[in-house]
Structure formats: structure tokens, C-alpha cells
A and B are shown apart, each in its own frame.
Chain A
Amino acid sequence: MEETLKLIFPYVVVLIGVLLAFQGVLMIVAYTVLGERKVLGWIQGRVGPNRVGPWGVLQPFADLLKFILKEDIVPNESSKVIYYLAPFIALTCALMPIVVYPFGPTITTIDWSFLPYGIAEGVHTLRLVIAQIDVGVLFVLSITSVGVYGIMLAGWSSNSKYSLMGGLRSSAQMISYELAMGASVIGVVMLAGSLDLTRIVQAQMGSPWYMRWFIIPQFIGFVVFLISAFAETNRVPFDLPEAETELVAGFHTEYSALKFALFFMAEYVNMFTVSMMATVLFLGGWYVPGLSHLFDVGSVPYALISIGAFVGKVIFFLFLYIWIRGTLPRFRFDQLMNFGWKFLLPLGLLNLIGTIIVVFFLNR
């Protein structure tokens, strides 16, 4: 029994960690929605939702309830299997990348002694990343690129021309901007010397932090990344696929109720993951400069503060999203494609070439 428990214990810890992490993400996402409405309201001189709970804090749950209770409409002529499959693909692919982001430093001094039977004997370290894999950056990119299927299939299976147009636009847009995104990421990868996100964060540690954070040497890359991240997530000013005025909400025109909610969530999760990516790649991830002077590296408080810093940085990006949504107009589709191919991609490539040259000479 004890042996079995001992055997299972690490898995249990990981499982709990995963659940917690995902729960946290979903909560943050849910409140991002609220936050967006509030901030938009603020920008537009309105109040925003304030009826459900104090300041409207229960609004997300009310929304969820609404989605669950709404009638689920399935278009007659749609391809049923794909129609059902699409939102799941979208959400799954949005959530998957979360597993590789390190959201805090490794905790080395953890004390499990309060547990019975000493089932956690000798285990003192806890990695604050669900899966540290060798090719983390590529993993994120690849899952994101698979995510486009959700949108495309949704557009196609609805058997409606608006949805189809939305799906087509979305996939074209995502394919186009993924290149620029990749180009901007490679600069970071080269400076860090690894595709592993944890390593990338580690490479940004140390002093002087303002030189280490890749936002400084890779500023162009950062800008390119940010813009293409906006495009990847179909957010304003790149929200052509779901432009209400043109396409009547685009690929999810025909979706309602819970399936719509899944798409909706997927979009916000995507925003969140992209923000995490930006944080990890350019803002040093969970690293707080100078924190090691206050707490021991590897101690629990150090980790907690780091997690806080990480979340804070992510929220900064989320705010940026909302802010831009409130201020910028939408592109026309051809402008968007031109911008992507003729400006962003060359810029990313130039940055890449510059980085190559610099790295080459620095390493001689």
C-alpha cells in the first residue's frame, strides 16, 4: 500500500498541479472577458457589466449559465460530425500549449513531511512547468498551427457562405502571420540557444536584467511577434474572420449555445497563451530581477512571487489586447495580407539576419 502510494504520489502531484494550472488559466480567462468589457466601457466612457455580484464579478458565471441553458441549434445542411468536432479542436488546441510554459521557478525546498506514511520522502523539488520538453517553442507553434483547423472546419461545416468566408480568411491570415511569428521567435531562440522554454527563461536571468530580457536585443522581433500574435488570435485590428459588420460573426455564425462558448473560450485562451509566450520569450518569464537577494532561490515564497510576476506580465499583455481593441480600427483584408507578407515578414527576416550576424560575431 505504501509502496503503491509512493509510486503514485508524484503523478498525483503533477495531476493536481495540472488541474490547478488549468483552473487558474480558465479563471483568468473568464475574468479577462469581464475585464475586457469593463476596460472597453471605461475607454468608451461607459460603466460595463455591474449587475451580477459586486462590480459584476459574477458576470462570467452568469454568462456561462446562459450559454449552457441556451437552445443548441444545428444547421440542417451542415456536416454534423465536423460541425461538432470543430469547437473541440479549437479549444483543445488553444489549451494544449499551456503545458510547456514554465510559470514559475523550480521549487527545491518543498517539505512534504505533513503527509502521512512519508509517501513523499526525499522529494523536494517541484517544477512549476507541466512538461518541460526539448522543443517547447516548436511545440507551441505547431499546436497553434493545428488550431486553425477548428476555425476552418467550423466555417466549412456550417454550410453557410459567411462562415465559409470567415473560415477561409481566418486560415489565410493565420498561415500568413505564422511565418512572421516564427521568424521573430527564431531570433530569441538563437540568443537563448535552445528551443526549450525553461532554458529560454533561464537565459534571460541574471544582471543586468534590462539587457538580458530579450525585449531589448530583440525589440524588432518583439514588435513583430506582438503584431502577428494579434493576428494569430484574430483580435482587433486583425479580426477579419469574425467581423460582425462584414461577415456576421464569420466562422461561428451558425454556432450557438455551448459550442459557441467553446469558440469564445478558445479565443480568450489563445490570447492568454500568446501573452504567456510573449512573456516567456521577451519579458523574462517569471523572473523578477533582484528577487534572489530577498529570498532564497528555490524557496516557496520566491516561487510564489515569481508566479505572481509571471501572471502580472501576462495580464499586462492582456490589457494591451483590450486597450488596442478599444482604440484601433479594423484592417481591410487585402491590407492585412499585404501588411503581413510585404512588411511584417520581411521585417522579421531582416531582424533574423541581423541577429545571425550579431550572434556570429559575438561568438567568434
Chain B
Amino acid sequence: MDLIKENLLTILILLPTVGAIAAIAYKAVTKDDSSQRWFALIITTLNFLISLLMFTRGVPAVGGFEFEQNVPWIPAIHTNYHVGVDGLSFWLVLLTTFIMPLSVLCAWTAVEKKKTAFFAFLLLLESAMLGVFVTLDLLVFYLFFEASLIPMFFLIGVWGGKNRIYAAVKFFIFTAVGSLLMLVAIISLYYIYAGAVQGSGSFDFVEILAAMQSGKLVLGSQAGMLLFLAFALSFAIKVPIFPVHTWLPDAHTEAPTAGSVILAAILLKMGTYGLMRFNFAFFPDQARETAWIFITLAVIGIIYGALVAMVQPDWKRLIAYTSVAHMGFVVLGMFSFTELGMQGAVYQMLNHGVSTGALFILVGFAYERRHTREISEYGGLANVMPNYAAIFIITTMSSIGLPFLNGFVGEFLIMVGMFKSNILNVTASTNWNYVAAMAAGIGVILAAVYLLWLVQRVFFGKVTNSENKKLTDLNAREIGLMIPLLIAMVVMGVYPKPFLERTDRAIKTIEARVMKSAGGAVEKTELDTKALENR
């Protein structure tokens, strides 16, 4: 057990890869193409169980990491395999391991061709995603960040819908373009560090951050801004923030269900995670300076996503656009630079992972039965598939942000954080923070409009399409896989304390870093302290 605990993160990363190789080897030996899903299920579940061991250790100290491992990888260029989790990455790791078995289950029968490859790619993807969340070495981070593209590329391209090739290539190129600039920034940072400490450079997040905090490494404003933008661009594409979001609807729509689920639930979080982890920590000044841009874009994203979602005739595409809106919330919360807002942002990441993931799974169920995603093809499903309708409506509510369901907590925290924030107080006359918060509020209302309208169109009324009459309700596997998600929605909505408690210290660190370097004291608010007392 200790051995596992010592190498917990490494095991988490490697286990799925090993599983993937085993699955392929099994296929090569036996020519059996149908039992690989068992491999995938067992491995992902095992991974989830192992990841639960993370609870055995407490919340890491401020600025610290648990389960740290730091071994040289390529000493010649001073890059190390350095992994660790803090409050920020903890839940994201858990979210990943939690969603993966579910997505395996939802692909159980949906995948008809080349099953081995499909599940192998899923497993590889899990490795890459976990790697992104736990690595603390910039180069290795970049490596996992890019590596996660390839399995997804294949998942969309091979098992996707009609327009899959376009979607896959677009997805890949958008993401790759941004991240390559990040590579330049990472290498530049290496040399800036080397110059600052008069020694060899480093890719290590902790080391560079320490140098920055101790004042040894001071970035010039111009260089800092360039580096910030290079990092931010790649993460913004991944999130995606408004003008660079166009790959997302295509990718979501064309991806197979499991792919969409993972894409929405986990991959998008890499962007927000990266922004919080690296951009805020390394470039607090620049983050503050550019906050207004990000907030504006986030607000635009929220409203735009909602409006576009409203007019989508395609069910899956509609949900894809909700992602744009929801991720806009996350960005908004992050750039409020209040503890509440950032807590909310992290919480909203998890919410989005659970709710939107669930929505995609549900759409997948319908698609598997009818092989169409046109909303107009459906109607009155509540009559033929009551269980399905019930689950779908609960999930919808969670996504809208109904109180006592998870979405509410996140959005509420974000909006409060935005109200409290003073980041946009440029002039005394207008408090732009309020404007932003209010715009976000409109976004919530719009979300209710389009999602409820969707529910109405799909589930209520009479069954007009004769093909819908033959539809069967969810089977045991499908219900079984929805149950954990539903539980998660409810728990997170009712009892957010353990979640917030874990992230609290990490968030405080980041906030302190961002605000302290502004010269101002860490802002404390009443609500803030209340939230903390909830612990």
C-alpha cells in the first residue's frame, strides 16, 4: 500500500497506458475484438479506486504539493519528471478518474467498429489527461498537454459522425497552434530563469515560481506580456474562450459519445487549469492587466454561447454551445481574482464536468437508438422513455443551476465573487464588475431558456414521429452509469464544503500571488470568511 501511495500519481498515469498496450496485445494474440471494453472498464475503475487513495493525505500546505515525485528525466536539458497534487489539481484528477469509467460504459455498445483501438485510445487519453493535471515541470506538462490531442484526434476522426474529418483536423490544428507558442514561451522561461539565477535553467514550476517570489527573477513588462500571451493563447483555445471557440461545437458534435463526454468533462478543464496554475502564478501582473479582456470575452462567451445554443437544430451541438457558456463562467470567476470567484470557478469546472458530461451521455443514448441528432426528429420522448426523461430533466436542472443541485453553487460563487471583485474598477462612476456579474446572470437565465425549451421540444407533447414509438427505455447499464453522476450532482449541490475545503488553500495561494504582487493586501470579505467557516 505504501508503495502505491509513494508512487500514486505515476501509477495513475501509467496504469491506463499499460492497460492500452495490454488490450492491443490481447487483440494481436487472440484476434478477439470484443472483450477490450472489459479491459478498459477494469483499468479505469481501478484507476478511480486508486485515485481515491489521495484522500489519505490531508490538504497540502500553502504552496505545497502532496504525493510529490521528482526524478530527472532528461538531465541534459534539466527537465525533470516532477509530479504532485495540490487542492487545485486534486479534484480535477478525481474528476478524470471518475468520468473515465463512465465514458467507457457509455461506449459499451455504441462503438461498433475497431473496438480495441477505441478503448486503447480512451485509456491513452486518460494517461495524458492525468499527466496534464499532475505534472509540475513545464516541459513535461507541455508534453502531456499535446499528447492528449492525439487520442482525441483519433476518437473524433475514426469513430465520429459524418463531418468527423473536418472536425478532427480543426480540433487538432487549433489546439496545436496555440500550444506551440507556449513551447516557445516555456523555453524562453528556461533561459530567463537561467539568466536570473546565474546557473543552469529549469523547467520546474516550483523552482521558477520560487525564484519569482523571492524576487530573483523579475520579468520585464514586455517580455512578461509576451510570455503571458503565449501561455494564455494556448489555454484560451483549449477552454475555449470566445473568439477561438469555433473548434468546439464541431468537435463535440462529431465526436462519439464517449469522446464528447471526455472532451467536455475533462479536456476543456486543461485550459482553465493551465490559466490558473501557470498564467496566474507566473505572470500575476499581466493577468491583472489583461483581466478586463478576459472578463469581456468571458461575458461575450456566456451570452453568445447561450444565444447560439438557442437556435441550434442539432441536439448535441446545442449542448456543445452550453459548454462555451459554462466555460465562460469559469473564466469569469477566475479573473475576478477574489477567493470566492476563484473557488467558484474551480467548483464550476467540476460541475461542468459532471453535468455536461451527463448531458452528452444522455444525448448519446438517444443517438444510439435513433441515429439522429435533429431535435425536430424527436418529441414526446417522455411518453416512451420515462426514466430517460426524468434523468435528463434532473441533469438539465443541474446544468441550469437550480438550487440544491451542483450548478447553483458554482455559478453563485462566481457571481458573488465578481460582484466583490475590484478588478474592473477603472473609473469610479461605473462599477464594471457589477455589469459583468449581471451579464453573467443574464447568461444563467438564457441557459434556463434554451435548456428548458430543449426539454420541452424533445420530451413533451405527443409522439409525432412514428419511429420514436418503438424506442425502448434505458437499460440497467445505462441507468447504472447515470446514477453516480446524479449522486454527484446532488451531493455537490447540497454539501459543497468538502470540495471547497480542499481547494481553499491552493486558491488562496494563487489569489495571494496575484493580488499581493499588485501591492494590495489580500481582500477579505464577510462572505468569504463565512464560506471558510463552513469547513
A–B direct touch, CB within 8 Å, in complex? no
